[in-house]
Structure 1
Amino acid sequence: MSYVKPADLAQSMIEAGQSKVLMSTRDTLIRGYMGGAILTLGAAFAVTVSTQTGEPLLGAILFPVGFILLYLMGFELLTGFFTLTPLALIDKRPGVNFAGIMRSWGLVFVGNFAGAFTVAVAMAIYFTYGFTSEPSAVGVALSEIGHGRTVGYAEHGAGGMLTLFTRGVLCNWMVSTGVIAAMMAKDVVSKALVMWMPVMLFFYMGFEHSVVNMFLFPTGLLLGADFTISDYLIWNEIPTVLGNIVGGITFVGLTIYATHARTAPKRVALTRPNGKRFAAHHTRIPAGLLEEHTH
């Protein structure tokens, strides 16, 4: 199994962030559309399996199929942009500024939502025979997810909002770990394996992913679920996006950047005249040993 060292990984992350910011409008929209569509087809598959088998773990095991496919085909997700593009700004890469990052986030959001909504409409038709019958068992399950993860949070007030935000943070911690883990591998099998593990975890734990939710909640609304568009935006999508931003930047992007792209100087190994060995920060070497160390 091929392996890219963390220091090289950090540079790849910075370069990937710069590339995303500089991507053309057309390509960002197309790649965002396909990324949203393929990921949410995977979500529809996972919910179908979970509902028909009664085994949520099996659905979680299979959900990463969509994520792996879209990544290997070079399509884009908003959550990955949250993690990688700020690194290019912090590293002062040419052509990267705050406005450029906001532009790229906005474009991939539109692309992801369009792709996810396309799948939502297709699945609503699929589960109701073109809206001529009541939703199938899977359609009912999707409606219940939308209700539980909007109104269900609202019932807990501030505590529900905090829980929603926290689940968004935890989600992109795992999803972006999958994105950057794929950069550590060079062959297809290895990439698929390292992406599969954290993405399975996020789905089974019920964390909140802004792009997956672009499919789940519109599908529920199309199938007559008991919540509104404002419920979806206020009690799910907006807090989820904010949580995804914090999770991706804080726990994945900045941690790797800080310790592997901007590695602090190592402590210096020294020996006292009495033979005792110790280590000291490079700026705190005792005066009596400084000359010896420089030689």
Structure 2
Amino acid sequence: MDPTRRRLFPGLFFIDAVLEAADTKAEMSRRITVQYLQRAAMAGILIGTFYLAYFAVSAVFAGIPALGDGGPGLGRAVGAFVFGWALVFIYFTKSELLTSNMMVTSIAFYHRRLRPMHGLLLLALCYLGNAIGGLLLGIMARYSTLTAGHVEEKMLAAVEVKLGYMATASGMGDLFVRAILCNLMINVAMLLVYNGFLKDSITMALAMVMSVFIFAFLGLEHSVANTILFTIVGFGPGIDVWPAVGNVAIALVGNFIGGGVLIGMYYAHVNDGRWLDGRRGAAQTPQELAGQVPPGA
């Protein structure tokens, strides 16, 4: 690669890695759809299980008398740290999570490696698989004591806050902003994982843990986590369906802007080496489309 191009576009390694991942995901969704759904379902089970752990940890610390008023805050911090490992488990098991795939499909669309309808289909299949995983976890939780006692209280309190956003226009705006920032943080972590600068698995894991810690501790809104939480509570005490649907719909749009636009499209644009030779906007060559050479190389 031209040294000037490498210097001006230091994120080309990141873009190439994401495009390779996009090609794999697109082929899976076309040729082995059931297996793709299975991988997405596993991501739903993992994120749901770690979310349960978050509420369980929060409940334990809130119930320690010696901690006084600091118990809930400490529990939230420790629970957020535990929940942060969900993304690590999802990444290293090669499971498929909707929110990180928003970034992948956006970059693939920018570089014309994925058509809009196929990109939407891939994301829809991923969300369906994530929701199926959440449904399975919800059924298992229904016939167990995983959500009993103070854990259920914490979950109901979280649901009350999330559905409360739907009561006013300002609340929905708050939800939207929180959804944008949530997936921005998740995909900043994935950018660090894909960009080639982090060389060892431990550092990659810590980057992912920290990004999810921030979104969980700040109460940012993740469409898949919310879907699974609402499913689990729906199998238990019950939930108001339409406010829950509205919450997930707004979170989906906000997550796409945060991960797909502010990370995916943004980094695809600022690392587009074709700006140097005036080819931006032109169709890629067949070799580029086939993935034989990186775009602009």
TM-score of the superposed pair, with normalisation by structure 1: 0.80
Mapped pair 1:230 → 2:242: yes
Say which of 62, 67, 71 aligns to 2:91: 71
Structure of higher RCO (CA pairs closer than 8 Å, 6+ residues apart): 2
1:264 offset after TM fit, Å? 5.2
Change (3 A) 1:264 1:73: same
Mapped pair 1:162 → 2:173: yes
Mapped pair 1:39 → 2:47: yes
- Larger of the two Rg values belongs to structure: 1
Q: CA RMSD in A?
A: 2.0
CA distance in 2, matches of 1:68, 1:128: 23
Q: 1:102 corresponds to which residue? A: 120
- 1:97 maps to amino acid: R
Q: 1:51 corresponds to which residue? A: 59
The 3-state SS of whatever aligns with 1:224 is coil
Mapped pair 1:113 → 2:131: yes
1:186 offset after TM fit, Å? 4.0
Identity of aligned residues (%): 24
Q: 1:145 corresponds to which residue? A: 158
The 3-state SS of whatever aligns with 2:220 is coil
1:263 offset after TM fit, Å? 7.3
CA distance in 1, matches of 2:18, 2:99: 14
Q: 1:181 corresponds to which residue? A: 192
Give the gaps of 5 or more residues in structure 1.
130-134, 266-295
Normalized per residue, which structure has more helix?
Answer: 2
CA distance in 2, matches of 1:97, 1:43: 34
Give the gaps of 5 or more residues in structure 2.
1-9, 63-74, 277-297
TM-score of the superposed pair, with normalisation by structure 2: 0.79
Q: 1:27 corresponds to which residue? A: 35
CA distance in 2, matches of 1:170, 1:255: 15
Say which of 201, 206, 217 aligns to 2:219: 206
Q: 2:70 corresponds to which residue? A: none
CA distance in 2, matches of 1:11, 1:71: 18
Residues 105 and 260 of structure 2 are in contact (CA less than 8 Å); yes or no, is this contact kept in structure 1? Answer: no
